[in-house]
Structure 1
Amino acid sequence: MTRHTIVRVAARYVSGRPLDGRSVREYPYLSRGAGRWPGWQRQAARLGVPATAATTAYAATAYTDYTRAAGVTLAVVAARAARRRWARRRFRRAYLSPTLAALSVPLGGARVRLHVDPGLGTLMPRLAKPLSPAEVAVRRWYGQRVEPVLRWPVDRAMRAWWTLQRACRPATQRLAVFRRPGAEDTGPRIDLTIDTPYLTDEQRKLVSSIVRSKIPAGELVESWDQVGASVSARWTVRRRPPSRVGLAELLAALPKLAEWEFYLGASVGEVPVILSLKDDSPHIAVSAGSGAGKSVLAQLVAVQVLARGGRVVILGRKGSHRWALGLAGVDYCHRPEQMHQALIRAARVADERNTLAMHEADDWDPGPRTLVICEELNATIGQLTTYWADTRGKSDPKRSPAVTALGELLFMGRSAKINVLAIAQMLTARAIGGPEARENFGVRCLARYTANAWKMLVPEAAMPRASRTLGRWQIVIGGVATECQVAYLTRTEARAVAAPVHMSAKDPDGPLTSDVHVDVDTITLREAADRGVIPWSVGAAQKRLQRDREHAPTPCGTRGRADLYRVTDLIEWVSGTLAPYAGDAS
């Protein structure tokens, strides 16, 4: 039986041991053990509190003026500490205690340690209560009269510290090579440690559901670590890509890319998102709601193809790509008959290139790359089918040759360097020609998506919350989704990027069905309609010229009975006429 003599109790008090003489193994000096504090903290409290009280009592009698000033200062510090302690108490009662109580049941009573940063999301603002007029007046008086006085020495100290850091920067930069990289600052987070060696998938899902329900901190990123004797989990705030990416970022990345690589934008930390039509997939599927920026993404890929001397075939009736009007190497097809012929020709070129590749070396280059942009594929397939049903003869096949050609491009376009960029609000298998054809799209881009669209196109990837930020896309490659802010180019910037490389009219593949070459300066309205310079028929264009005499281009000559117009004048007139409807393009 332990004897409690005065000497032994005094020794225990001074050394920081438990006063009842319990074992040192249970209550060690450096760690907490079974007690609330380690031994050294108990020792500091036992010796420091009496010493502080005695010093304060002596100073109060010997130095009255200084004691009064120190008392006021200590009172202010104590009041602020009590306020912070009260806020932490409310925080624990609102979030930590209910969460720990809910976790105790599924974890079978295992010891759980939970840390939640108060700065996470809107946790602290949720606890705020409306202020009365008196409280508002007191806070205003405090902010105007007291806070500046208290902040002044702190601000001066920080400015002096910053000045010292700038003075020492040359030396600290040289010493940086000896500094070991530390853990990345994750910012505000939720840390959970469970004293159990393993949790099943069902238990982890239940724990995650409890934490997200009891601590409403918004969208979080979850990570688990089950290595060792305990299981730990962390929830951090999801980092976002930059809010805007434009021409400067594209021009900086373009010289570093190979011919088959394309810059799409920036992800978290301004890391460039690069797409490879050689390694990732030869074709791109774009699925997004109206107004999400589908045509902006297609424009970005198209200008990079044109800048490298390639060709672009645009199938679309909306006029979303007016930036491409009049550019060399662009086949802008806005009528069903133009789309029909363009797809058949592209399939024929792909077949010829694949036939030639059989007798060439493995690294043989079949020619300039061709990008086929299928705008609003849900409607385009129907238009092609209807056009063929109205024009085919009795001996012609029932299936539209253009739809068949599109399917052939999807299956043999990789080796022929002919790539398809399919755009649709809902890229169903029926819209693209069947589920086997849709499987050729290894790169899938989604924005403003629904749960049904995500499950249909990329069920193998976890679905993040859809962003309402314009230009924010999820680029899914190989089941991995990367959040990307797509680079936005104005019409002038797009033409400037695409214009440096002009294609020759003597290209071995021949001219496209509606190419507008830079060497053709003047054309008739019929030629302009056939080549895609104007998005209307000849009759509709003539009526618009009659109604819009103030802004209509002036004829610069005649060819027979037809008036001749400069291509640049027609492009400027079309751009000005369609400008009020620019918001309709997605």
Structure 2
Amino acid sequence: MTDEASGKQRDVLDVLVLRYLSGQPLCGADGYPYLRPGLGQLAGYQRQALRIGMPALAGVVWAWPQESVAVVAMLAAVALWRARRRWGRIRFRNEYVTPTLAAIGPALGLKDVRVDLHVDPGLGQLTPRLAKPLSPAEEWVRVRYGTYLEPILRWLPEHIQRAVWTVQGWVYPLTKRLDWFRRPGEKLGPRIELTAATPYLTKEQRQLVSAIITAKIPVSDLVESWHQVGANVRARWTVRQRPPSSVGVDQLLEHLPRLQEWEFYIGQGAGDRPVILSLKDDSPHIAVSAGTGAGKSVFAMDIAVQVLRRGGQVIILDRKGSHRWARNLDGVTYCTKPAQMHNALIEAAEIADLRNDMAFSEADDWDPGPRILVICEELNATIGMLANYWAEIRGKGDPKKSPAIAALGDLLFMGRSAKVNILAIAQMLTARAIGGPEARENFGIRCLARYTANAWKMLVPEASMPRASRTLGRWQIVIGGVATEVQVAYLTTAEARALAKVTKEPDEGLSRDVTGDSDMMTLQDAIDAGVLPWKYSAARQRLARNVGQVPAKRGKRGKADLYTRSDLERWAASGRR
């Protein structure tokens, strides 16, 4: 062998030894990071630890065989446990990641472009889909493993974790103060992330990638976002955030004091954020389209009680009696017969027309008076009843079109200055039901629940249609072509009637007790109304000394305590005895 050949062999041996000790692939391939694992490969430090640690462990066992038995057994158990986890990751990658990458590469038509794909195992039901039925032998091994081996393997990690939690509890007062200096980071949940080593992808390519991701990874209802600034193209698919499962009177009471007269709280949206409708900024009229049992009357009730609480008026056209909560309430005109509906619509149109005439000579911020809300229940049937009623009473020379239907159309074309708003409710809000397509265009706020594809395309074709939810009270509020998912607040009849009472001080706090049908009163209110027979000072003394059946405090109005009328009457009766 010549000196040149032996020198080449030594060079090759030196390179192999260097690669072996540094954790590089022995095949000579490059591009595998030292700290981050490559595609289906170990990271450099992991490979280095195995190559150096295994011979060292073998030497220790050979030198001290008896002393090393327990250590070897534990290391073998840990290795088996890690191998099992790694096998699960390999199965997950072979099932979802590798086939998806194989489909994306040729579809993009870009050669030598590296594409990385991360799929979170906690996304949807991806991991449970890989589970297979166990044989009796596998079940026996699993039971023995969980009974005898797993407690030993988990003892040390669990105690270390508990020690870490204890230390974190000790230093929490300090770390909490440090949060003031930290910048809020992006909170990312389970997601799919794709990175392509190319500066730009066309719209067609992005749509193709999105279609492949949706087809190859079985997770529904994902939110897609693309980022093409920089040298790489990044895409992310995250699970759509959902509103809470239920919203009640507590949330409504929390937000009412902060609302303007033209703003109305509807419910909670994604991330438990409040959803507020504005009849001044968004639209003067609201269209509600939903299937049977979706909660159309509850939606209308939420708006109506807020109008009544602020001193407004509500006109309800309801043939089937869906709003019994509003019967005999001040400020409510409840129309169940066609004649009543006919007269109420004509009167509302006259008021709106008068207000518009007066607005010409007033300032821009002129207030025409209390807000009037007209709730048209089951508009598909109501229009037919009004037309039939007019056909019966129409005299010779009267117009063929019902004046009530014409008045409804006029109200829809009235501006915001009149403060007369229509809330139209129908299962299918067609143009014929509302008086034509031009009249339907006046509904800037459109609310849908349990909708069909036809209903969505008819009302909001400019917005992409999300999947309809079967959760009761779950609505899609569409404003300006943007759909917002909302869990609408649910109120009982007693809560609605209590909230509908006019309050003169809406910004000074609201009573939290709205479960009864009694009036909420301060001591001074009760004395002025004749409920309490004493003077204010005497009533305060009786409260301080617990004389008689002292009423319980039910809330606050400013600094004054609130009590129910029934409790105050019982207190007065006990004092007389």
TM-score range, shorter chain: 0.7 to 0.9
Amino acid of the structure 1 residue aligned with 2:14: A
Quote the residue 2:96 is aligned against. 95
Quote the residue 1:177 is aligned against. 180
Quote the residue 1:86 is aligned against. 87
Contact 1:247 1:487 survives alignment (8 Å): yes
Structure 1 residue 446: deviation in Å?
A: 0.7
Structure 1 residue 347: deviation in Å?
A: 0.4
**Is 2:402 the partner of 1:400?**
yes
Quote the residue 1:235 is aligned against. 237
Structure 1 residue 404: deviation in Å?
A: 0.4
Structure 1 residue 281: deviation in Å?
A: 0.4
Residues of 2 paired with 1:490 and 1:17: CA distance? 68
Residues of 1 paired with 2:296 and 2:25: CA distance? 74
* Residue from 130, 145, 156 that aligns with 1:153: 156
Structure 1 residue 30: deviation in Å?
A: 6.8
Residues of 1 paired with 2:318 and 2:495: CA distance? 21
Q: TM-score, normalised by structure 1?
A: 0.79
Structure 1 runs (4+) greater than 6 angstroms displaced? 17-23, 26-38
Quote the residue 1:328 is aligned against. 330
Structure 1 residue 133: deviation in Å?
A: 3.4
Structure 1 residue 49: deviation in Å?
A: 4.6
Residues of 2 paired with 1:125 and 1:17: CA distance? 35
Structure 1 residue 8: deviation in Å?
A: 7.1
1:296–1:51: structure 2 CA closer, same or farther, 3 Å change rule? Answer: same
User: 1:26-61 CA deviation, whole Å, 9 max, x = no partner?
Assistant: 7799799999989x937x845x55542443234324
Amino acid of the structure 1 residue aligned with 2:126: L
Contact 1:336 1:384 survives alignment (8 Å): yes
Name the SS of the counterpart of 1:399 in structure 2: coil
Residues of 1 paired with 2:469 and 2:28: CA distance? 59
Contact 1:287 1:445 survives alignment (8 Å): yes
Contact 2:35 2:44 survives alignment (8 Å): no
Amino acid of the structure 2 residue aligned with 1:111: R
Q: List aligned pairs for 1:376-525, cutoff 5 A.
A: 376-501=378-503
1:79–1:28: structure 2 CA closer, same or farther, 3 Å change rule? Answer: closer
Residues of 2 paired with 1:389 and 1:35: CA distance? 77
Contact 1:283 1:442 survives alignment (8 Å): yes
* Residue from 164, 169, 175 that aligns with 2:167: 164
Amino acid of the structure 2 residue aligned with 1:451: A
Amino acid of the structure 1 residue aligned with 2:191: R
Residues of 1 paired with 2:344 and 2:442: CA distance? 21
Quote the residue 2:507 is aligned against. none
Contact 1:17 1:27 survives alignment (8 Å): no
Contact 2:24 2:47 survives alignment (8 Å): no
Residues of 2 paired with 1:323 and 1:29: CA distance? 68
Residues of 2 paired with 1:436 and 1:444: CA distance? 15
Quote the residue 1:560 is aligned against. none
User: 1:114-143 CA deviation, whole Å, 9 max, x = no partner?
Assistant: 111122111122121112334334323433
**Is 2:108 the partner of 1:107?**
yes
**Is 2:168 the partner of 1:136?**
no
Gaps of 5+ in 1: 503-517, 519-586
Contact 2:23 2:47 survives alignment (8 Å): no
Counting aligned pairs with the same residue, the percent is: 62
Name the SS of the counterpart of 1:123 in structure 2: coil
Q: TM-score, normalised by structure 2?
A: 0.80
What is the aligned-residue RMSD (CA, Å)?
A: 2.8
Contact 1:369 1:418 survives alignment (8 Å): yes
1:92–1:35: structure 2 CA closer, same or farther, 3 Å change rule? Answer: closer
Structure 1 residue 12: deviation in Å?
A: 6.5
Amino acid of the structure 2 residue aligned with 1:496: A
Quote the residue 1:272 is aligned against. 274
Comparing 260-269 and 55-64, the one that deviates more: 55-64
Quote the residue 1:297 is aligned against. 299
Query: How many pairs are equivalent?
Result: 497
Contact 2:32 2:44 survives alignment (8 Å): no
Quote the residue 1:217 is aligned against. 219
Name the SS of the counterpart of 2:129 in structure 1: helix
User: 1:442-466 CA deviation, whole Å, 9 max, x = no partner?
Assistant: 0011111111111111111111111
Q: List aligned pairs for 1:304-343, cutoff 5 A.
A: 304-343=306-345
Comparing 222-231 and 7-16, the one that deviates more: 7-16
Gaps of 5+ in 2: 505-518, 520-577
Name the SS of the counterpart of 2:179 in structure 1: helix
**Is 2:135 the partner of 1:121?**
no
Structure 1 residue 490: deviation in Å?
A: 0.7
Residues of 2 paired with 1:312 and 1:371: CA distance? 5
Residues of 2 paired with 1:328 and 1:202: CA distance? 59
Amino acid of the structure 1 residue aligned with 2:214: R
Amino acid of the structure 1 residue aligned with 2:500: A
User: 1:548-575 CA deviation, whole Å, 9 max, x = no partner?
Assistant: xxxxxxxxxxxxxxxxxxxxxxxxxxxx
Residues of 2 paired with 1:371 and 1:89: CA distance? 62
